[in-house]
Amino acid sequence: METNSGNRIEAYFDNSATTPVYPEVRDLVVRLMEEDYGNPSSLHLKGVEAARYVTDAREKMARLMKVMPKEIVFTSGGTESNNMALIGGALANRRAGNKIITTEVEHASVGSPVSFLEDMGFEVVRIGVDSKGVINVDELVDAVDDNTIIVSVMYVNNEIGSVMPVQDIAKRIKEKNPAVLFHVDAIQAFGKYVIYPGRMGIDMMSVSSHKFHGPKGVGALYIRDRVKVKPVIYGGGQQNGMRSGTENVPGIAGMALAAEMTYRDLDEKVRHMREVKQHLIDELTGIEEVYSNSGDAPHIASITFKGVRSEVMLHALEERGVYVSSGSACSSNKHSTSGTLKAIGLPPEKLESTLRFSFSPENTIEQVDYAVQCCKELLPVLRRYVRKK
């Protein structure tokens, strides 16, 4: 299918779900699978070579965060990192208190383990957000008391791109209770912001490789030295007992290379993503009954197309080679209403008509113009169809 102008291009705007792997990362992963395929726990040369890749990757990730290599634990991705931080942190510090504070707009990989802990008897406080998806820091700090052991706040919201003031939160909660552990889900922020968790007062921070052009199935958790976290996976005692299981050497090495490449010329990449995002918002909100719910992150735009269900619009765009999301990729195939969109106060007719466009430095203004033209052509047809029904 083509636009009336006769031009069709492919426009992938679902980079918050996953990003294409850098070619250099792909080549490294393939080489490690075909040639340097040893088990890093083996004592022979192949094992020693594999272990060296893991050590180098840990040093690279630590260097980018300006932390110590021993503070990096490799995981299977953002979900495991969040589970390890929350469940492992809560169980290890239960004698110090029983209260966990988080927000109403967290990703399911934070929300679900927090609910699990609540079922185990932990007290959970969920702080609401304003119409822009940002929490009231005063309200969060007021909830902190001597019984609080963990505060968990996402850096960038994965659906609308709101940015939480994590450094201010860290400072203020530590002033009130220095023993509180501050966990940050930085899965949508890493690779878009320069983040030095140790300097920012963050005790645990989760990242996920495939959000910044690395392979899927690998992530990392920063755990500040001397922070107590119980392992959630037991077995052979790899990674100093913190995360048992044979390390995913190709994935770990690929993630570290992707992180290095992502942070090269980061300012220019972020500037470009902001330009592409703003152009999309400006053009789309010029269409009748199209609204933006977008936060300040450089790479996420939340757009409401009033009068058309999000899934209908998503598939109509897909037929024209434009790929977007109707919410969090981890749960968008489940037909449930977005908790984030509810939390910012969208009315029911907008809740079901909102799409997420998310960008990488590879996206272009030309792709945006093509997507906007598709929307202009599709919306009148889809809206008439809905009204006739």
Half-sphere exposure of 125 (CA within 13 A, CB side): 18
For residue 67, what are its two tokens?
């932390």
Give the bridge partners for 219, in sequence order.
75, 208
Separation of alpha carbons 135 and 137, rounded Å: 6
Residue 292 pairs in a beta bridge with 303
Tally the residues of the chain: 389
Give whole-number Cα distances, 104 to 293, 301, 333, 336, in Å.
17, 20, 21, 16
Strands 148-154 and 99-103: parallel
Cα 62 to its chain centre, rounded Å, is 19
**Tokens at residue 131, please?**
């119409």
Q: What is the CA radius of gyration of the chain?
A: 22
Question: Could you give the 3-state DSSP secondary structure of residue 33?
Answer: helix
The distance in angstroms from the start CA to the end CA of the chain is 25
Confirm whether 375 is a catalytic residue. no
Q: How far is CA 112 from the centre of its chain?
A: 15
The one catalytic residue among 108, 124, 330, 351: 330
Which positions are annotated as active-site residues?
330
